[in-house]
Chains A and B, each alone.
Chain A
């Protein structure tokens, strides 16, 4: 019947597409992420203009040979601001996730290794933290601490600690029962040595995969906070802050909103591709899918 005919075409097309998807999606994600990081690192070389240089004659100027993405409401170069904004966004997000990984990973490992009351206390605090909407929690922390780069890192890390604690605890519980830990204990190894030299290497994969997935969330949170007006203070360029400024002048110059949005989307999509690929590669349940 027609169903089988479409099925063969569909599956042949699908097999080809799957091959491209599996192999390439994650690598493209990794490549684009690397390129963006590189562009952020080399911002002074690639920008061509000072991101804070104002030229009122160029207010809302459209793209030109000298200013390839045009100029904003202060006549600042949009391309330069996007490049420099990448530095802020990436620094904050990477630092926040690294902090959450270390703190959350340690807490989860201790909870899983110690078990009993320690486990119950740590994990119920983590469960409570999960009861807060992360944007509103981040917003309150920044509002209370003041909007600075360090405080944004702390606020975003705070909203991401609980998932890392959870992901670190589960495999620690499993690894703890294994013979080699028992053997280590019999040899008189200290708890610290057992945790860091023997358990950590076994659970690191899962923590790192979660880290790559959460990096996208951190970038989104940073951009959202900046959009609300709680980002690193102006005139420092941030992607969310640029969209905030552009939003006020959206009718005159939609590009001011669209270009930084595209920058955020490129990073978000490539990080999600990378994270998905890594997760598929490390999850045995999905591997033979």
Chain B
């Protein structure tokens, strides 16, 4: 198992280097001078020169690349152009809010999606299955910002059950939880749709396997066959999809944070966008990509836990 973990860790290194390189290229595909883009066309040459120096743009491109890679690998993602604080510090400040939101969403997604998918597979092509599939298709069709706005309209504005945006004081644990409910539901319900769908199809694949028939034949109760034997073997594709879904989840969390006016990485991005704070945007993209690479790593390690065959390859 240790060898397996080490091998996977080593394999993540070139991916990380590649990801950093892509970020470097993307930020520099812009036509024209970034200093002019940021300051506008009426900026004085002196101010532009100063900004270029500040952004490290006054050296040849290959040196910019080495500087970028070097500082990124040592954990220095640059400073915000607006606050002049290290981006990593800004991110650290709001990360707990985004984490509590995404973790809550994943919990909701797994807690509802897994059983719904199994139930749909057990009642394949019957009415129950069809209803679950329709609902899941509806969930897949909702852009996160639309579902967020509709939840807000329904529960905060019409019914007044939950606090309206921006009123929560996050120091107070009760208010903090109340402010989490709708955003977490929004992200979570979309995730339920994804997990239900993949659980269903994965279970359908497994249910027709010989060992399931054998278990049935020797008299293991149907409930036990499904939840103990089949689900365990259906888990790998499900874990894969949850891992792959992280990218969507991050995008959706950005939109959700904007609609609910929550502090978090999403709001940081919007502020950076509005103030043309490119160093922050670049750093955020790096952080997100690293998060996803790490999540893929965790997914791979999960395979090892779920399936002994993977471990011993």
CB within 8 Å of B: which residues of A?
Answer: 7, 10-11, 13-15, 17-18, 21, 124-125, 127-137, 139-141, 143-145, 216, 220, 223-224, 227-230, 240, 243, 247, 250-251, 254, 257-258, 261, 264-265, 268-269, 272-273, 276, 285, 289
Contact partners of B140 in chain A: CB under 8 A: 272
CB pair B293–A131 under 8 Å, yes or no, is yes
Q: 8 closest A-B pairs (Cβ-Cβ)?
A: A135-B251, A14-B126, A268-B141, A133-B250, A128-B18, A133-B247, A144-B30, A269-B141
Known: A216-B141, A228-B273. A136 touches B255 (CB 8 A): no
Known: A227-B145, A254-B153. A269 touches B22 (CB 8 A): no
Contact partners of A125 in chain B: CB under 8 A: 18, 22
Query: Roughly how many angstroms separate A156 CA and B276 CA in the complex, as a whole number?
Result: 21
- Residue in chain B with minimal CB distance to A220: B143
Q: Is B258 an interface residue (CB 8 A)?
A: yes
Query: Roughly how many angstroms separate A251 CA and B158 CA in the complex, as a whole number?
Result: 10
CB pair B288–A133 under 8 Å, yes or no, is yes
CB pair B255–A130 under 8 Å, yes or no, is no
Query: Roughly how many angstroms separate A124 CA and B129 CA in the complex, as a whole number?
Result: 38
Contact partners of B15 in chain A: CB under 8 A: 124, 127-128, 131
Contact partners of B19 in chain A: CB under 8 A: 128, 131-132
Known: A129-B22, A276-B137. A228 touches B258 (CB 8 A): yes
Identify the stretch in B45-53, B173-181, B278-286 within 8 Å (CB) of chain A at 4 or more residues: B278-286
CB pair A136–B149 under 8 Å, yes or no, is no
In chain B, positions 245-263 with a C-beta closer than 8 Å to chain A are 246-248, 250-252, 254-255, 258-259
- Jot down 16 A-B pairs with beta carbons below 8 A, ordered by A: A10-B123, A13-B126, A125-B22, A131-B292, A132-B288, A134-B251, A135-B255, A139-B269, A143-B281, A144-B30, A228-B255, A243-B146, A254-B157, A261-B149, A264-B146, A272-B137
Interface core residue of A131, A135, A144, A257 (most chain B CB under 10 Å): A131
Contact partners of A289 in chain B: CB under 8 A: 124-125, 204
Query: Roughly how many angstroms separate A152 CA and B195 CA in the complex, as a whole number?
Result: 30
CB pair B258–A140 under 8 Å, yes or no, is no
Interface core residue of B125, B130, B142, B205 (most chain A CB under 10 Å): B125
**Of the residues B137, B145, B273, B281, contact of A243 by C-beta under 8 Å:** B145
Contact partners of B273 in chain A: CB under 8 A: 139, 143, 228-230
CB pair A136–B137 under 8 Å, yes or no, is no
Question: What mask results when residues 10 to 27 of chain B are scored 1 for a CB within 8 Å of chain A, else 0?
Answer: 000011001100100011
In chain B, positions 125-142 with a C-beta closer than 8 Å to chain A are 125-130, 137-138, 140-142
Known: A131-B293, A136-B284, A140-B282. A227 touches B255 (CB 8 A): yes
Q: Is B289 an interface residue (CB 8 A)?
A: yes
Query: Roughly how many angstroms separate A130 CA and B31 CA in the complex, as a whole number?
Result: 25
CB pair B125–A14 under 8 Å, yes or no, is yes
Query: Roughly how many angstroms separate A237 CA and B30 CA in the complex, as a whole number?
Result: 26
CB pair B22–A136 under 8 Å, yes or no, is no
Q: Is B5 an interface residue (CB 8 A)?
A: no
CB pair B269–A128 under 8 Å, yes or no, is no
CB pair A132–B285 under 8 Å, yes or no, is yes
Contact partners of A228 in chain B: CB under 8 A: 254-255, 258, 270, 273
Contact partners of A127 in chain B: CB under 8 A: 15
- Residue in chain B with minimal CB distance to A268: B141
Contact partners of A7 in chain B: CB under 8 A: 126
**Of the residues A10, A130, A141, contact of B126 by C-beta under 8 Å:** A10
CB pair A144–B125 under 8 Å, yes or no, is no
Query: Roughly how many angstroms separate A18 CA and B31 CA in the complex, as a whole number?
Result: 54
**Of the residues B26, B124, B152, B248, contact of A141 by C-beta under 8 Å:** B26
CB pair B145–A131 under 8 Å, yes or no, is no
Question: What mask results when residues 134 to 168 of chain B are scored 1 for a CB within 8 Å of chain A, else 0?
Answer: 00011011111110011011000100000000000
CB pair A131–B130 under 8 Å, yes or no, is no
CB pair A135–B250 under 8 Å, yes or no, is yes
**Of the residues B128, B157, B244, contact of A250 by C-beta under 8 Å:** B157
Contact partners of B299 in chain A: CB under 8 A: none
Q: Is B29 an interface residue (CB 8 A)?
A: yes
Contact partners of A131 in chain B: CB under 8 A: 15, 19, 247, 289, 292-293, 296
CB pair A18–B141 under 8 Å, yes or no, is no
Contact partners of B137 in chain A: CB under 8 A: 269, 272-273, 276
Contact partners of B145 in chain A: CB under 8 A: 223-224, 227, 240, 243
Query: Roughly how many angstroms separate A257 CA and B246 CA in the complex, as a whole number?
Result: 28
**Of the residues B141, B258, B278, contact of A144 by C-beta under 8 Å:** B278
**Of the residues A14, A130, A133, A264, contact of B251 by C-beta under 8 Å:** A133
**Of the residues A13, A132, A264, contact of B22 by C-beta under 8 Å:** A132
A179 vs chain B, min Cβ distance (A): 30
